[in-house]
A and B are shown apart, each in its own frame.
Chain A
Amino acid sequence: MAEPAASSESYSGMAGLAVSLRGVTKVYDNGVNALGPLDLDVRKGELVSLLGPSGCGKSTALRLIAGLNAPTSGSVRVSRGVGQSRAGRSIGFVFQEPTLMPWASVRENVRLPLKLSHAPAAEANARVGDALIQAGLAEFAEAYPRELSGGMKMRVSLARALVTDPDILLMDEPFAALDEITRFRLNNDLLSLWRNLRKTVIFVTHSVFESVYLSQRVVVMTPRPGRLSAEIRIDAPERGEEFRTSAEYAAYCREVSHALAPLQSGQPGS
């Protein structure tokens, strides 16, 4: 076995940082060198996109931050909210698939995180109700996942991630499987949510347009093993349909695409 260099810690005093990765690598059991070494800092309240070709370790990085996997080496530090005993509860995770329990209603799916943390029933009911209204799901509360469209399922998934009021929201290509119209709408929903709740959001995507539209900062990653290749700051205060059709947006997209281009051509035909 490798030396126990890996550490996954939670520090409360990280000077405005929500997440801090230092020299993080991940080698899977099958020998695949998926990530790193990667250094990444995410400020509190920041919306950052991790962008890169498929298999560049973006999802791996997200799973390491969530604590679902342990890094092979390096340190993963996640700031902990005040009064929260476990890092898990201050993190919300949205997978590429809606990942709902098919046997449970929308309401029960959203309630799950609270049920697992033994939240008092009255408080849980109130929170679930709020989360459902916020996600526009109030009238579908008793529906089963199979009765919903792909976009609606994703809303349920998002509502579930937010029901614990986490400080950090991790999203792993959440809208990749949706049609463009639904994706645009959910992008706008996410932006207004982020503006209102000021959560730290780390958003993994392979869409240049999505990353530019959503984030304050786009982090471009190299193919496997994933490292930081470029960082592009998107300084546009107003996001919306105006921004999506502006020359500024087009220019940012071009810049990000250029950062991505050499990586694409240099990719080995594995």
Chain B
Amino acid sequence: MTSLQTPPLSAEQAAPDSRALRLVRILLPIVVLAAGIALWELVVRLNNIPPYVLPAPVAVFRTLIADWPVLSQSLATTLVTTFEGFVAAAIGGVALALLFNQSKWLEYSLFPYAVILQVTPVIAIAPLLLIYLPQQTAVVVCAWIVGFFPVLSNTTLGLNSVDRNLAGLFQLYGASRMQTLRYLKLPSALPFMLGGLRIAGGLSLIGAVVAEIAAGSAGAGSGLAYRIAESGYRLNIPRMFAALLLLSAAGIVIYGLLALTSHLVLRRWHESALGKEN
């Protein structure tokens, strides 16, 4: 009965509420993060847990600053690998999708292998690649393998999602293949392609990390994942956490940049980039 007495929200109340809601949505995760870190610090201090079992957040930050010369270099290495893998995945994925779209024969012949490459866990492929390829190349190839499939499948989906009437219109006006591709198919596929790239960004980082871990102590690699593995062997747990923190931050920044790019490209016309009010 009590729930029935709650007055419904009126339109006047809704407007300031939505602004407050946005603030809450930004603030709440920050509050949770702060509370989590405080709790973590507290638990470590109260129980006197040694840093090689669980380092306190303050210790992790201190390590991050103290080891910055080493860690920043590793971060740069991992980011370069991720970037190379991502660019290769973007170009490869879009190019393959375009080829498949132009030739059904090619699609039927090659698509199953793209799927096989995707469903085989990259962590299992990485050691093999490391045998046959120079380490740096193998790491980039790993990043490419996991990154290119979402670009390929999303772009393919986009190229096939062309408005049928618009396609009819292009046919009516005698559009050439190139014109149809350039003025109709590519713009139609763009939102899908950008969605694929957003996934590929994060996956490229994962691919790079997996390959670095697989390369492990065998190689001369110095990426962040290598630092984590190395610190593990040395029981330098605070540095493991610090490296993990950097990896996670890198992932967030990559996702944010790609989401921003997508928004900027699509904001004038695509539903996904429009406010709810429009």
A→B interface (CB under 8 Å): 63, 66-68, 86, 88-89, 91, 93, 95, 97, 99, 101-104, 112-113, 115-117, 144-146, 164
Contacts and interface: CB of A to CB of B under 8 A. Distances in A.
Q: Which 5 A-B pairs have the closest CB atoms?
A: A99-B165, A116-B173, A103-B187, A95-B165, A116-B175
Interface string B155-194: 0000000010110111111110001000110010010000
B172 A146 contact: no
B171 A68 contact: yes
B278 A117 contact: no
B274 A146 contact: yes
29 contacts: A66-B168, A66-B172, A67-B172, A86-B174, A88-B173, A88-B174, A89-B173, A89-B174, A93-B169, A95-B165, A97-B165, A99-B166, A99-B169, A101-B183, A102-B270, A103-B187, A103-B190, A112-B173, A112-B183, A115-B179, A115-B183, A116-B170, A116-B173, A116-B174, A116-B179, A117-B173, A146-B269, A146-B278, A164-B173
Contacts of B175: 116
Nearest to A144: B269
- The prevalent SS among residues of B at the interface is helix
B169 A144 contact: no
A68 B274 contact: no
Interface in B219-278: 268-270, 274, 278
Interface residues of B, number: 21
B161 to A, nearest CB: 12
A102 B269 contact: yes
B268 A91 contact: no
A56 to B, nearest CB: 20
Contacts of A146: 269, 274, 278
B277 to A, nearest CB: 13
Contacts of B165: 95, 97, 99
Contacts of A97: 165
Contacts of B268: 103, 144
A68 B168 contact: yes
Contacts of B183: 101, 112, 115-116
Nearest to B186: A103
A65 B169 CA distance: 13
Among A63, A86, A116, A146, the most chain B Cβ lie within 10 Å of the Cβ of: A116
A115 B163 CA distance: 19
B165 to A, nearest CB: 4
